[in-house]
Copies of this chain bind each other. A is one copy, B any other.
Amino acid sequence: MKLSGGVEWALHCCVVLSAATEPTPATKLAEFHDVSPSYLAKHLQSLSGAGLIHSTQGKSGGYLLTRPAAEITVLQIVEAIDGTTPAFRCTEVRQRGPLAAAPENCTVPCGIARVMADADRAWRESLNAVTVADLADDVNSTVGPTTLTRVDRWLRTGAP
């Protein structure tokens, strides 16, 4: 079981965008993270498609969060990149073999599918309880209180 690598980049980009006081071009986000612009572009488009970021056009155009960082959860970012399909897919094993259950008796998921769905729900609830604002606060409280201010300055001026 493996999440798309894009999840990590998308989460980092959203934290950076939460610190940005101006629209941030995709090329700046790529340079900041030292990653290929074309690779990152794909994930930024997914975030945009999910309505979490949007781009403004023009000379000083770039990406912005579409709403306050406190209103964007980690789950929303994870699902924008990796989708909402649960990791476990029930193939109705109970309907196979010599003692197969009849389809009409399989209108509710079997116990195994329910247990796996419960765990999936616990995972998503955990991710939904944390916002981009929480992640940004965590950066400032663990790395240093001016960290995101420095990120914003670099994005605007290139000064380290």
Per assembly, the copies of the chain total 2
Set B97, B112, B135: member contacting A32, Cβ < 8 A: B97
| Residue interface bits A98-128, CB-to-B below 8 A is 1, else 0 | 1111000100101110111011101111110
User: A135 to B88, alpha carbons, bound, how many Å?
Assistant: 16
User: A120 to B122, alpha carbons, bound, how many Å?
Assistant: 9
Q: Are B93 and A9 in contact (CB under 8 A)?
A: yes
Q: Are B87 and A115 in contact (CB under 8 A)?
A: no
Set B11, B99, B134: member contacting A150, Cβ < 8 A: B99
* Closest chain B residue, CB of each to CB of A119: B126
How close is A137's CB to chain B, nearest CB, in angstroms?
8
How close is A23's CB to chain B, nearest CB, in angstroms?
19
Q: Report which A residues bind B (CB closer than 8 A).
A: 1-5, 7-9, 11-12, 15, 31-35, 74, 82, 85, 87-91, 93-94, 96-101, 105, 108, 110-112, 114-116, 118-120, 122-127, 130, 134-135, 138-139, 142-143, 150-151, 154, 158, 160
User: A12 to B99, alpha carbons, bound, how many Å?
Assistant: 13
* Closest chain B residue, CB of each to CB of A95: B34
Kindly list chain B residues whose C-beta atoms are within 8 Å of the C-beta of A119.
123-124, 126-127
Kindly list chain B residues whose C-beta atoms are within 8 Å of the C-beta of A35.
96
How close is A108's CB to chain B, nearest CB, in angstroms?
8
How close is A146's CB to chain B, nearest CB, in angstroms?
11
Q: Are A74 and B135 in contact (CB under 8 A)?
A: no
